[in-house]
Structure 1
Amino acid sequence: MDSDVKMHDAGMAGEESDLDEKYPNRPQNKSPTLPFHDLFQTLFRPLSEIKKKPAGPPGNRRKAGPHGQSAANLNPFEKRRDVIDRFISRWRKEVGDDIYPAFRLILPDKDRDRAMYGMKEKIIGKMLVKIMKIDKNSEDGFNLLNWKLPGQAATTSMAGDFAGRCYDVLSKRPMRTEVGDMLIEEVNEKLDRLSTASKEEQQLPILAEFYRRMNPEELMWLIRIILRQMKVGATERTFFDVWHPDAESLYSISSSLRRVCWELHDPNVRLDAEDRGVSLMQCFQPQLAQFQMQSLDRMIGRMGSTEGDPVFWIEEKLDGERMQLHMISDPSAPGGRRFRFWSRKAKDYTYLYGNGIYDEAGSLTRHLKDAFADGVDNLILDGEMITWNAEQDAPEPFGTLKTAALSEQRNPFQQGIHPLLRVFDILYLNGRDLTRYTLRDRRNALQKVIKPVHRRFEVHSYEEATTKEEVEATLRRAVAEASEGLVLKNPRSPYRLNERHDDWMKVKPEYMTEFGENLDLIVIGGYYGSGHRGGNLSSFLCGLRIDEGQSSQGSNPTKCYSFCKVGGGFTAADYANIRHHTDGKWIEWNSKKPPTTYIELAGGDAQYEKPDMWIRPENSVVVCVKAASVSVSDQFRVGLTLRFPRFKRLRMDKDWKSALSLQEFLDLKSKVEQEHQEKEFNVENFRKKRIKKTTKKPLAIAGYDESDEVQYAGPSGHIFDGLNFFILTDSNTPKKSKAELESLVKANGGKFFQTNNAAPDTICIADRRTVKAASLQKSGEVDIIRPSWILDCIKQSEVDAGLPDFLLPLEPRHMFFTTKDKEEIVAGSLDQFNDSYTRNTSIDELRTLLDQMANEKGNSSCSPEAINKVSERIQEKVDSGWTMPCGWVFKGLTFYFAENEGDAASESPEPKQAHRIHLARNTAIFASASIVSSLKDKSITHIVVGPDTTASEISKLRKTISTRQKLPHIVMVNWIEESWNEKTLLDEERKPPLAINASKLSSLMWFNLLV
């Protein structure tokens, strides 16, 4: 052990020397770091308490002030920032400017410099049992090793929270009751050793020392750091923003927490424009596609151009892993090229795909010897790594990617499965950052520099389109080919690092029309949940019945094959009903003796998707499930599975013998496929490619001329005719480079110069305090205007198209520095509520104005980054057993309340019913539904009627909507009420009735489910 420590210390010394050379100006702390317990006492615990407390009344909110301001006057967002700001300020004062040691523990999932520990909950639980010397079969031992299962006695509330379960056990037998004396730097040093320890005998002494020197609460937070599951209620964006205004930008282009802490230790020193772009061999955070909107019309409208160019691109959404490839020419490397691969989460996959042409471990790079055009010295590509089945000439499911890469390493040039990189963007070429160029320009460059390698390294194809019908036709083909969906892209857009933007938008099949149908499946297994569902079975493994003679192991009429997992759509009553009918019949799954007589899983001994508990089919219940579609999967024994399955209702009228069998399912699938082939879908017109417009100045392959002017695809006009500009800096919000701003000025009739006295009446533009800006400000004779004024003027001229050009008056928000003579004039451009007299107000500004008018001084809206963070995986989490957040229950739905039109209700509802409908409407709006006032609106998904609605009124509604291709659900108001109460989208046809059937759905729905 001593030799290992010495080797580790020697390695650390060498690494420290390399870092000093790489970061010669790195900050140095003047004092030792703070104690570890300060982290949870002054940061983690206060943030967690803010997370638990509901926001106060709007009238109590106010903007954050100095540190002395009462915390009671801050809203939760401001409270979090205040807690973080206090910690950072204390660190700078007491320790120094190097906050990297603390940030490694505060944001452990963003620390790419520390290797993964290779320790999950079960391993940590086993070690704690050994360290505390407790019997693994005792109550506490059982609870640690089976943390998802409901515990005994007081630990029941901790089910599903491993760190909390550890705290519960550790607090009974602590080595310390008071906080320990370990410093943050000491904890980091031991965690570094833990991350490099590969065996239990190396890991155990380190964890044992933590146990001796920390109290139970410290250990609880340490375990969360090791698992990289902090959940303190503040995102990394909040920490970055408090630390430095450019921190998020630098992390977006580097994915390096170290760089963020060391290069941006002074908040007054800003990043230069040239430091804001991607760079070779430095992992960046890629652009992401925006979430689906409620209608294709709205999505396509966002794709349009202010110059009247309606063309957008349609790409297939691939079922793989987002991957960036960096390549650089290196004469010293075998093959002359070096490669690096990173995933979207900044995980280095070079070991899997190869670092050179002749890398024996290169499952991909060994095929790239002739994949680049002559003259290409270096580049960065963005794409999707998928698994390709050479025998079937078709893609494989995502989960097989690593297996395929390892197989290719062992048997190169095989005809089985192997990785395939589909490239759809190029961000860097021969020393030049291309992110500011349009997607069309980047694609032109990509086509010229890549020489595709068949089924190994290809350029992802796209179609040009202008209408909704073309998207729907392409989507139907995608469904037929079991594709993930589509991505719509604006070909005139730049690349936006670490952003979700309307320039790229997802279109998934399940949202196009009424996909899904009812399948009666047998529950054969259960999985314990986490969080508030901890201690109970929150999702279920469902199977298809195997009729006599079908089983691979002989005839057994009670056997089932695993088919899918279902975790969404259950209410508390549904869970209680299932528990009631299966109580005492569940059996713990034993991996050494799986119940193959009754249940057969995929993967043989690997036992894919094995449940925590299982139940004999004859003792179980039948559930009705609906889903988006059926897809191929090697994770389930049937070989197929349901995509996005959701519980509809419990079928107590059926037993396991009348549930769907495998043969019945295959027969149904075959029938639907045959019916589909007989249907005529005239899509040939949509498949014709439109003639692509050539760019005015295409990108060259190599040898870029640095004097070339950046071509910025922006609006043009005459709003700045006769005006002279001196642009000192780029724009922060929105982000635009100095060159882009100059191009906009020129395109709209203005002239720009490189000094402020080169022309009369020059307008000075700046967004940050550079040396030149500070010099002009110090003179006190020149007004300095922010770039936002330029952008607002152009935007307003587009709105007022056809009217005489009109420059917007300057507002306080436009001023970087205002001379005394100009202050009164600038202030006079706004009314008493700070509303502009001349400029159109944005939605966000309108919200702020309304808040001010109501004497609300806080931020009443949710932060956009929080919405994006939750929305990104909310469907996946709900399917896995999470409860739907109340603000998203009706997201994506459009409601029409039938009392809006006189012919839908013969009499006005009674006051009590009117109040109930009014409350339901407000509930729907709060839970993200859209409300329309006309029944003619084609986006309606649900028509809501009151409890007193008559049959004749329903008949009129049916007649009105009968001609629509997509039939809305007619639901009663209690469907909204019960879905809200249960915090999940309940099935509209469940009993007691929540809906009124408008008509029978066509067989096309079955096709959509089963193809």
Structure 2
Amino acid sequence: MDSDEILPDPAPNVEENIDETYPNRPRNRNPTLPFHELYKNLFDPLSQIKKKPPGPNPGLARRKAGPHGKAATSLNPFELRRDVITRFISRWRQEVGDDIYPAFRLILPDKDRDRPMYGMKEKAIGKMLVKILKITKESEDGHNLLNWKLPGQSAASRMAGDFAGRCFDVLSKRPMRTDPGDMSIEEVNDKLDKLSAATKEDQQAPIFAEFYRRMNPEELTWLIRIILRQMRVGATERTFFDVWHPDAENLYSISSSLRRVCWELYDPNIRLDADNRGIGLMQCFQPQLAQFQMHSFDKMISRMRTTEEDPVFWIEEKLDGERMQLHMAPDSSVPGGRKFAFWSRKAKDYTYLYGNGIHDEHGALTRHLENAFVDGVQSLILDGEMITWDPEQDAIVPFGTLKTAALAEQRNPFSKGPRPLFRVFDMLYLNGTDLTRYTLRDRRNALARTIKPVHRRFEIHPYEEATSTAEIEACLRKVVAEASEGLVLKNPRSPYRLNERHDDWMKVKPEYMAEFGESLDLTIIGGYYGSGHRGGALSSFLCGLRVDNNSSRGSSSEKFWSFCKVGGGMTAADYQEIRHHTDEKWNKWDAKKPPTSYIELAGGDLQCERPDMWIKPSDSIVVCVKAASVATSSEFRMGLTLRFPRFKKLRKDKNWKTALSVQEFLDLKANAEQEHREKEFSVDNSRRKRVKRAGKKPMAIAGYDENEEVQYIGPSGHIFDHLNFFIMTDSSDPVKRSKGELEQLVKANGGKIFQSSTAASDIICIAERKTVKVASLQKHGEDNIIKPCWLTDCVDQNEKDAGLPDLLLPFEPRHMFYTVEGREDEIRMNVDQFSDSFARDTNVDELKKIFSRMRSEGNDTIGGDALRRIEEQIQERVNSGYTVPCGWLFRGLTLFFYQIHLDDTPLALARDTSKFAGAGISDEMESPDVTHIIVDQERLTPSDLSSLRGSLSTRAGRMPHLVSLEWVKDSWSNKTLLDEERYTPRRSLV
């Protein structure tokens, strides 16, 4: 929970008798599969698909399903992953049985709440392997294991930042066995249970030693990933759940229990009944999350407005704490008693910390809640944020101290030190009723009538109503002044969406405001090695402020105080340039002999924020850094640091003598605070489009006058970040653009332009007609040549998907001017048999051509498997925040149209619209499948409404929604399902 603390967590509560809790759980007919089957038939195949996706962007996720089934050879990556998972699950069912829980615990280790954390990170595992392998810490392999982020020697250098990969490199040199081991999945689970229960190294070492004896290096590598809960196989739990059972994701969202998903939903033909689809008391659910910030406040507001009649949205302060859900239920063991439970966003049980009852002496919070609820409240579920409050400062303490404060509160509940404060912003359950389908406005009204706040211990989080961007800006100014986390905008008309990021909640962070000066020019004095794709190189840097001599004004010493760390915002070119200027000037940090004559850290002997490497300021480089605000910090020698620091650019025109000093920074800070109230708020967009570096000569472009500035007015963004381009011709289709205009389009969207195909690595060559250069490249035959229409397609698609992560389109046959031999089939996989793109929206002209091809080639009916794949991929697209396709809007709903007689009535039009949008239409109102009853308010008499409501009140099972036909019309026009309560017939009864 807290990055600055290493404190023990108790083991979760273990059920006394699993057979009593799950009397009907499945039993396997045969022993579980060998452990090596997991990596051979699941992990490795999935990893290979992840490494070799089609198209130019390795991170591309398919965004549109094809309308036709395809042969196995033309499956896209999503379908390939599903195929691998489906084959493994089918084999398990056939050879083992219906209980897949033992396998899922290893496949999805981060979702397994029933096994405690191991208390082992990379360094502890590295030390253990050094002992088991009987190698010294000073040996090359010992050094590589214990310093896994640092560049290694020989082959290990490729594994820097990848601990499991570094382990494989070391283990493969001295394996106990080369063939796959004989341990079963059940046996591995048993050993891992014992490993998680072990608290000391001498208890853990024998278990690890047995794994080493009985597994080959590949198995051990995957086992280490399981222990670290860092699988990264390219398939999410959503895909595994979806293949296992159609209701698996829903059950996990409301319970956060992998065991329940496996043991209650083992038969795909038995669906989860309606009573078990909602959240329940004392079972942890997966909370709704806020969508990421969009490019403009206007777009954010427009996404939340579902009606012009009610344009209001809410603004809440984003709290710097830990997301927490609180459950309260009656306690039958105590008359009138209540029991509590707390879970974090990651489903970690914190009841032991905050309390299980009012009289829990170890409860840091619940002992203060005796009078926190109005009479009549028996049970509830609250969603909120647990933060640390300092009573002396009467302010929130920055994140990182919450657990320490809670433990201190357990020991002394009446101390005046920092304490946990639970800020509630939602109520999801009250006295047996699930409130998630109610609007946020209704839920907050219920919350206000239910809770009696306890000052600075248990409070309702406030919000402000707003209708315009000006109110967002005013609130942002306030949170920046208070060094707060940011804002969350909420749609008060929205339901609660479990386990989703949705436009109904959007977060706004004041990270890069033009509030605190224009920039800070800081000197790099240290570096930290990264992990993952940045492994083996310095990925973040320690920046310092120069300590001026007091003896004479203007004289400088080469001594710097540590001030902040920066790494975000740097491109590969920025890292390369820093390496170019500082190569062979770095020194390894020696904790026993720190370079105090040059660098002074905080904490004295503790050496807070100690870098891996250090550099003399006179050998270093100056960077321009942007920040939201300044915060106090004991981690840096300056005593202050930057909040949300971000790299802007290199300052090659400055050196350590002209960079910012301690006194200059203090003067700058004082001036900023003085001018704070006079300044108008503005959001800094400079990070979206990099500022042209001073002193750089404009590049000469063949084909137009270099003195004539090309005016570019068009979309800008980050779609081409980190990509290199060589543009050889102009464009005529779909829009006529000159070569210069195409280059401006690329640069405005983050790309870099070169005038040779060999000027940089991985250059994308662009041309639409044959010139001398194009013919030469084509004859060489080593580079694809892409038409300019691919550039415009990428930009257009990302403009349509504004607010979503930038995604590069894969190459399609229509994009190719010349294709390297052997790549044709790979590129053809990105469209279906009629050339309909899987990854981008199709325009009208293209659609006409596609329909023409379908008529000429014939059109087979879509089979059940193909339809299922389409449904799954569309659902994945919708879950990622994309608009629901119009033909899918009402899918899964069954509508009954009341008193529909004539085909020319409005009801008939609404019925046809609903059918087109995927709804099922029922002719029987009593059918249990009916989810909505649609009425025409203009034709409905009071007696009709009274009769209709009377018949519904006696209905057994699920109660359908009674709504006016305007619900169908408005949902269709807004392209989303609207809240039904606003469309309940309002005609009063006589």
Q: How high is the TM-score relative to the length of structure 1?
A: 0.66
Q: Map residues 179-218 of structure 1 onto 2, 5 A cutoff.
A: 179-218=180-219
Report the equivalent of 2:39: 40
Task: Quote the Cα distance in structure 2 between the aligned partners of 1:231 and 1:750.
Answer: 58
Cα shift readout 1:492-550 (whole Å, capped 9, x = no counterpart):
21111111112111122247778773211121211112223211111111122233469
Report the equivalent of 2:117: 116
Residue type at the aligned position of 1:33: T
Report the equivalent of 1:828: none
Q: Secondary structure at the match of 2:401?
A: helix
Q: Which moved more, 1:278-287 or 1:363-372?
A: 363-372
Q: Map residues 730-745 of structure 1 onto 2, 5 A cutoff.
A: 745=934
1:377 has 2:378 as partner = yes
Cα shift readout 1:698-732 (whole Å, capped 9, x = no counterpart):
xxxxxxxxxxxxxxxxxxxx99562499x9xxx99
1:166 has 2:355 as partner = no
Correspondence for 1:798 among 955, 967, 970: 970
The answer on whether the counterparts of 1:30 and 1:96 sit within 8 Å (CA) in structure 2 is yes
Question: 1:270: how far off?
Answer: 0.9
C-alpha change, 1:739 and 1:625, in structure 2 (3 Å) is farther
Report the equivalent of 2:239: 238
Task: Quote the Cα distance in structure 2 between the aligned partners of 1:41 and 1:622.
Answer: 49
The answer on whether the counterparts of 1:61 and 1:75 sit within 8 Å (CA) in structure 2 is no
Q: Map residues 910-925 of structure 1 onto 2, 5 A cutoff.
A: none
Question: 1:733: how far off?
Answer: 9.4
Question: 1:60: how far off?
Answer: 14
Report the equivalent of 1:282: 283
Question: 1:295: how far off?
Answer: 1.8
Report the equivalent of 1:653: 653
Task: Quote the Cα distance in structure 2 between the aligned partners of 1:59 and 1:296.
Answer: 25
Residue type at the aligned position of 1:798: D
The answer on whether the counterparts of 1:62 and 1:74 sit within 8 Å (CA) in structure 2 is no
Report the equivalent of 1:637: 637
The answer on whether the counterparts of 2:935 and 2:964 sit within 8 Å (CA) in structure 1 is no
C-alpha change, 1:16 and 1:160, in structure 2 (3 Å) is same
Question: 1:614: how far off?
Answer: 2.1
Question: 1:63: how far off?
Answer: 7.6
Report the equivalent of 1:617: 617
Residue type at the aligned position of 1:392: Q
C-alpha change, 1:59 and 1:277, in structure 2 (3 Å) is closer
The answer on whether the counterparts of 1:721 and 1:749 sit within 8 Å (CA) in structure 2 is no
Task: Quote the Cα distance in structure 1 between the aligned partners of 2:407 and 2:15.
Answer: 34
Task: Quote the Cα distance in structure 1 between the aligned partners of 2:644 and 2:127.
Answer: 35
Percent identity (aligned): 72
1:722 has 2:899 as partner = yes
The answer on whether the counterparts of 2:149 and 2:162 sit within 8 Å (CA) in structure 1 is yes
Task: Quote the Cα distance in structure 2 between the aligned partners of 1:423 and 1:568.
Answer: 32
Task: Quote the Cα distance in structure 2 between the aligned partners of 1:452 and 1:794.
Answer: 40
Task: Quote the Cα distance in structure 1 between the aligned partners of 2:595 and 2:939.
Answer: 78
Report the equivalent of 2:469: 468
Q: Which moved more, 1:618-627 or 1:217-226?
A: 618-627
Report the equivalent of 1:710: none
Residue type at the aligned position of 2:262: C
Report the equivalent of 2:20: 21
1:589 has 2:568 as partner = no
C-alpha change, 1:143 and 1:680, in structure 2 (3 Å) is closer
The answer on whether the counterparts of 1:426 and 1:446 sit within 8 Å (CA) in structure 2 is yes
C-alpha change, 1:462 and 1:649, in structure 2 (3 Å) is closer
Report the equivalent of 2:89: 88
Task: Quote the Cα distance in structure 2 between the aligned partners of 1:109 and 1:539.
Answer: 27
Question: 1:92: how far off?
Answer: 0.4
Q: Map residues 444-463 of structure 1 onto 2, 5 A cutoff.
A: 444-463=445-464
The answer on whether the counterparts of 1:334 and 1:356 sit within 8 Å (CA) in structure 2 is no
Report the equivalent of 1:818: none
The answer on whether the counterparts of 1:378 and 1:431 sit within 8 Å (CA) in structure 2 is yes
Question: 1:406: how far off?
Answer: 2.1
C-alpha change, 1:401 and 1:733, in structure 2 (3 Å) is farther
Report the equivalent of 1:405: 406
Q: Which moved more, 1:177-186 or 1:309-318?
A: 309-318
C-alpha change, 1:407 and 1:334, in structure 2 (3 Å) is farther
The answer on whether the counterparts of 1:64 and 1:78 sit within 8 Å (CA) in structure 2 is no
C-alpha change, 1:99 and 1:430, in structure 2 (3 Å) is same
Task: Quote the Cα distance in structure 2 between the aligned partners of 1:441 and 1:548.
Answer: 63
Alpha carbon RMSD of aligned pairs, Å?
Answer: 3.9
Report the equivalent of 1:98: 99
Cα shift readout 1:472-494 (whole Å, capped 9, x = no counterpart):
22222222222222111111211
Task: Quote the Cα distance in structure 2 between the aligned partners of 1:492 and 1:374.
Answer: 28
The answer on whether the counterparts of 2:526 and 2:541 sit within 8 Å (CA) in structure 1 is yes
Structure 1, unaligned stretches of length 5 or more? 1-10, 683-717, 753-757, 764-770, 774-786, 800-838, 845-1011
Residue type at the aligned position of 2:599: I
Question: 1:425: how far off?
Answer: 0.6
Q: How high is the TM-score relative to the length of structure 2?
A: 0.67
Question: 1:424: how far off?
Answer: 0.5
The answer on whether the counterparts of 2:543 and 2:563 sit within 8 Å (CA) in structure 1 is yes
Report the equivalent of 1:362: 363
Cα shift readout 1:22-61 (whole Å, capped 9, x = no counterpart):
0000000000000000000000000000011122699999
C-alpha change, 1:585 and 1:681, in structure 2 (3 Å) is closer
The answer on whether the counterparts of 1:541 and 1:611 sit within 8 Å (CA) in structure 2 is yes
Question: 1:591: how far off?
Answer: 4.2
Task: Quote the Cα distance in structure 1 between the aligned partners of 2:936 and 2:284.
Answer: 35
Cα shift readout 1:838-879 (whole Å, capped 9, x = no counterpart):
x889699xxxxxxxxxxxxxxxxxxxxxxxxxxxxxxxxxxx
Report the equivalent of 1:980: none
Question: 1:309: how far off?
Answer: 1.3
The answer on whether the counterparts of 1:60 and 1:73 sit within 8 Å (CA) in structure 2 is no
The answer on whether the counterparts of 2:290 and 2:488 sit within 8 Å (CA) in structure 1 is yes
Q: Map residues 767-786 of structure 1 onto 2, 5 A cutoff.
A: none
Q: Which moved more, 1:502-511 or 1:54-63?
A: 54-63
Residue type at the aligned position of 1:34: L
Task: Quote the Cα distance in structure 2 between the aligned partners of 1:493 and 1:739.
Answer: 26
Residue type at the aligned position of 1:324: Q
The answer on whether the counterparts of 2:523 and 2:543 sit within 8 Å (CA) in structure 1 is yes
Report the equivalent of 1:973: none
Question: 1:290: how far off?
Answer: 1.3
The answer on whether the counterparts of 2:320 and 2:387 sit within 8 Å (CA) in structure 1 is yes
Cα shift readout 1:410-451 (whole Å, capped 9, x = no counterpart):
332222211111101111111221111111111111112111
- Give the length in aligned residue pairs: 720
Task: Quote the Cα distance in structure 2 between the aligned partners of 1:841 and 1:450.
Answer: 35
Report the equivalent of 1:1001: none
C-alpha change, 1:681 and 1:238, in structure 2 (3 Å) is closer
Q: Map residues 478-493 of structure 1 onto 2, 5 A cutoff.
A: 478-493=479-494
Report the equivalent of 2:478: 477
Q: Secondary structure at the match of 1:630?
A: strand
Q: Secondary structure at the match of 2:657?
A: helix
Task: Quote the Cα distance in structure 2 between the aligned partners of 1:356 and 1:31.
Answer: 44
Residue type at the aligned position of 1:250: L
The answer on whether the counterparts of 1:549 and 1:556 sit within 8 Å (CA) in structure 2 is no
The answer on whether the counterparts of 1:63 and 1:74 sit within 8 Å (CA) in structure 2 is no
Question: 1:609: how far off?
Answer: 2.8
C-alpha change, 1:458 and 1:28, in structure 2 (3 Å) is same
1:666 has 2:838 as partner = no
The answer on whether the counterparts of 2:428 and 2:434 sit within 8 Å (CA) in structure 1 is yes
Task: Quote the Cα distance in structure 2 between the aligned partners of 1:666 and 1:61.
Answer: 57
Q: Which moved more, 1:559-568 or 1:344-353?
A: 559-568
Question: 1:681: how far off?
Answer: 9.1
Question: 1:149: how far off?
Answer: 0.5
Task: Quote the Cα distance in structure 2 between the aligned partners of 1:371 and 1:605.
Answer: 46
Task: Quote the Cα distance in structure 1 between the aligned partners of 2:475 and 2:655.
Answer: 41
Report the equivalent of 1:418: 419
Residue type at the aligned position of 1:722: Q
Structure 2, unaligned stretches of length 5 or more? 1-10, 57-61, 683-894, 902-906, 921-926, 942-946, 978-990
Q: Secondary structure at the match of 1:658?
A: coil
